[in-house]
A and B are shown apart, each in its own frame.
Chain A
């Protein structure tokens, strides 16, 4: 059996999600916009999923919109807010460790004349609310930061930052990319002071191709996809009922166990780090108090991709940096103060609560062996 330890890239859809998707493809296959019963049944499936997801983030179902995934949600948050508020104000503040779907979108807006400020971690590798607050001013309309960094598991001070920003600049829209935190940490929009958040289904054992965005009432975004006014005009295009239903089913399954899974994965992380500590030359790039779901390590002197393929030959699947950056050296790790050779040799192990100690044993053995065998 291969050992899959790349759950931050994607997860295996759970049985409930698959079942919900199949039902929506075989039984309730209507178009939610149709006026007849078949349409209504499909709409009810979408509404049900919407309600589950809204409930899971402490939001009103009216404020949850389905998209094709978190990349689209992030695009909609940034471009949509720029469309709605960008006439009078020109500045966007983001963290320097964002996922490409935020960072590249911000760059695209930069090219259109917006000013983007990227707040970096301090020397201790941590981000501070005060630094974000200092970066904001009267000309700022949006601040966007992720909840959990996808490469290191570092948990960003989102709540502190958003609370402080809202207190000083109530008009600044706050957006949080919650992809790596959702269903792993409690995500509550009000407590976080978030006006918008992005979610992804396939990171929580749903299916690829669907995500959601929460947009607080009163916050305006200009849609980036126009057409038949589905999702109240925020995101046109016939709803992907099967994927949405699967998203709801996955969220419903995971919601009650956030706490106990976090604890379990925390134990696994400790176990793994303990095993790795006996291998000379390995260094841990993830912060101790980060999300245990992501463990970033470096086997120094052994390039990420080579180590990755060595582990692959042992049927162990991990990732180098973030899967989306396909092997390029990670600018994000450098931001966290992990440089040069160490960044070149970073591999990311991302677990689920189903990961076992035995699997981690095999991983540790394989890394030790790789360390011996692999050169350069």
Chain B
């Protein structure tokens, strides 16, 4: 009995003339992700990708697990391949569904006949197969409203497929289809979520992180690297930039009023991020800010930060509550890493009473009291890059 994985495209199926570009990108992403698991043949037809394992001992649950994290997919399932012949469909169903139906009490059959040349119509397939399954598994009853198991039969071009599970895909667009952007990754809960949300919209992510030894420890950087690694499950490969930030932070502390520390620091971070973004062809910046969460994330503060930005800054968490952000971070499995207790550079020299409604001219005046440019250039020059590829 042959088992394959069926992948249904997400919203890219609605695209017009450039649909093929999206499809190719998705296929490439999928192939890269499952390559370590063995040999596969991937073919695409009717907005569906067929992942056909070539070795018997390939673990399909692992394939489903990995492909379930690839953006651009609406749904996926493992399915049994049948001849386009009703008696073969019945025979294979008995064997393939034995475990699932053996433990269930209620079921229904759902048929999709995209090959209209198949002699039986969908309702007929449902009725006939349902009847056969009832004969075979007499403990079952049919429940069309809320069945425990929905058996789906798909009659397609070359084969028929039977499956009893439909797993929701990650949705969104294939990563890379929307270009690249630079994610400011602090190590907290929000920024990995922000990166994930943009990747979902097809954005290829690069990440930038600021370190301030001895105020921050090497463990803090390793934590962020772990986050990057985790994100590769969803985002694919990530270029990780690590900026030495100590001198700039010390300069801020020495030359600027305490209440402006955080905002000026963020402006300098943005400045450095865009310079590195330009080198790496990133079209935008991404941050994990959410309005009002902390003093530097009030609207007035964000306006002051944005004033130095020459490219768009995406803030996908902007209207979310912390609990909503945490929910996603648990789902994408970054929460446990984010909550490791190492201090990051954002909390070094935190003012006791930060300015909640800073005025841009005050900030600019404070920042202009010292020439940060040489230090910015030095930080950009000494930035180190590492790439994280799909883990495992």
Contacts and interface: CB of A to CB of B under 8 A. Distances in A.
Interface of A: 35, 37, 40, 43-44, 55, 58, 60, 62, 133, 160, 163-164, 167-168, 186, 188, 190-191, 217
B59 A188 contact: yes
A53 to B, nearest CB: 13
Contact of B61 (A35, A133, A190): A190
Nearest to B60: A191
Contacts of A133: 103
Given A35-B217, A37-B218, A40-B219, A58 B103 contact: no
A190 B62 contact: yes
10 contacts: A35-B217, A40-B218, A43-B219, A44-B222, A58-B59, A164-B103, A188-B62, A190-B61, A190-B62, A191-B59
Mostly, the A contact residues are helix
Contacts of A167: 99-100, 103-104
Nearest to A133: B103
* Top 8 A-B residue pairs of the complex, sorted by shortest distance between their CB atoms: A167-B103, A168-B103, A191-B61, A191-B59, A190-B61, A62-B336, A188-B59, A40-B218
Given A164-B99, A167-B100, A167-B103, A58 B62 contact: yes
A164 B217 CA distance: 48
Mostly, the B contact residues are helix
A190 B66 CA distance: 12
B392 interface: yes
Range for the number of chain B residues in contact with chain A: 10 to 19
Contacts of B103: 133, 164, 167-168
B333 interface: yes
Interface of B: 57, 59, 61-62, 65, 99-100, 102-104, 217-219, 222, 333, 336-337, 392
B332 to A, nearest CB: 12
B170 to A, nearest CB: 18
A163 to B, nearest CB: 7
A37 B62 CA distance: 37
- Which residue of B100, B104, B219, B337 has the most chain A CB atoms within 10 A of its CB atom? B219
Contact of B333 (A43, A55, A60, A163): A60
Contacts of A168: 103
Contacts of A40: 218-219, 222
Contacts of B102: 164
Contacts of A37: 218
Nearest to A232: B336
Contacts of A44: 222
Contacts of A43: 219
Nearest to B342: A35
Nearest to B340: A232
Contacts of B57: 186
B321 to A, nearest CB: 23
A229 to B, nearest CB: 11
Contacts of B218: 37, 40
A60 B332 CA distance: 12
B62 A55 contact: no
A17 to B, nearest CB: 23
Nearest to A259: B57
Contacts of B217: 35
A55 B99 contact: no
Contacts of A58: 59, 62
Contacts of B222: 40, 44
A317 B336 CA distance: 47
Given A37-B218, A62-B336, 9 more contacts: A35-B217, A58-B59, A133-B103, A164-B103, A168-B103, A186-B57, A188-B59, A188-B61, A190-B65
Nearest to B333: A60
A168 B337 CA distance: 33
B392 A191 contact: no
Contacts of B100: 167
Contacts of A164: 99, 102-103
